[in-house]
Amino acid sequence: MTEWTDHTARARTWFESLRDRICAEFEAIEREAGSDASFAYTPWNREADGEAVENGASDTGGGVQGLMKGKVFEKVGVNVSTVQGEFSKEFAGTINGASAETPGFTATGISLVAHMANPHVPAVHMNTRFLTTSKAWFGGGGDLNPPFPYDEDTADFHAEYKAACDRHDPEYYPKFKKWADDYFWIPHRKVHRGVGGIFYDHLECADDAAFEANFAFTRDVGEAFLGVFPKLVRRRMGMAFNDAEKLQQLQYRGRYAEFNLVWDRGTLFGLKTGGNIDAILMSLPPEAVWS
């Protein structure tokens, strides 16, 4: 298949609906903590050839950055975007199905990073996406990043993703768990970024049937996140903490920032495709220390 416009539109609609439900749940948690914090939404347009695109002047696309700073969520970003255009000739050769001769692409997806006020509440990352070049594929996953790991939280997080994977293929969870373990490794620190989760990419769609199967799996990945992470937040957000524990959280955040700036492919993809800088770097923590 070479025409994926309708499929991209379907994926986009679902990613946006997932965003709405996640943000509503996070705001509900803030209300439970006595906070009136809400998401602020900022639309942006993709930059083409290094120049800002005016509203309606181009079909290169854009997205919406959702950002909330509250009592429980010290900083949480939930971004959705749908962009299209051409990769630079140098970058095209690094992307599945693209080349200097065929640099065209579309990409739609949701990306979420939450940094929590209480160091006992785990930070988290989740994203799912659908991309097309000369090929079409889904990717995504989620991983838990606690400064203070709790075995119960880790087990529940992995169990939710394992159940989602097992509904589609019994080989998915061990394969995608290992992929996450390998990907979220900080080589210069020789440590994992967190306690893992799942990561998958290039879940290719050769035809409509493959698209439907992979889209169903990707939806389940999103639902798994929504099903488990709010439970972990509510479990830990009332725990007492001291200055030493807060310092440990800030030191941990330094490692998180290092990974995202040095090793993360999503950061590079956004920067190389004219994405919004604030949306791309929303994954960075609001405060961190190096010592």
Q: Which residues are catalytically annotated?
A: 125
User: What span, in angstroms and rounded, lies between the C-alpha atoms of 145 and 193?
Assistant: 7
> Cβ–Cβ contacts within 10 Å for residue 51, how many?
9
User: What span, in angstroms and rounded, lies between the C-alpha atoms of 66 and 78?
Assistant: 5
**Tokens in use for 66?**
């959702």
Tell me, rounded to whole angstroms, the distance of Cα 148 from its chain centroid. 21
User: What span, in angstroms and rounded, lies between the C-alpha atoms of 247 and 224?
Assistant: 31
User: What span, in angstroms and rounded, lies between the C-alpha atoms of 48 and 52?
Assistant: 7
Beta-bridge partner residues of 120 = none
| Strand runs labelled E in the chain | 40-45, 61-68, 73-86, 104-116, 123-132, 136-145, 185-186, 191-192, 196-204
Beta-bridge partner residues of 146 = none
User: What span, in angstroms and rounded, lies between the C-alpha atoms of 283 and 260?
Assistant: 7
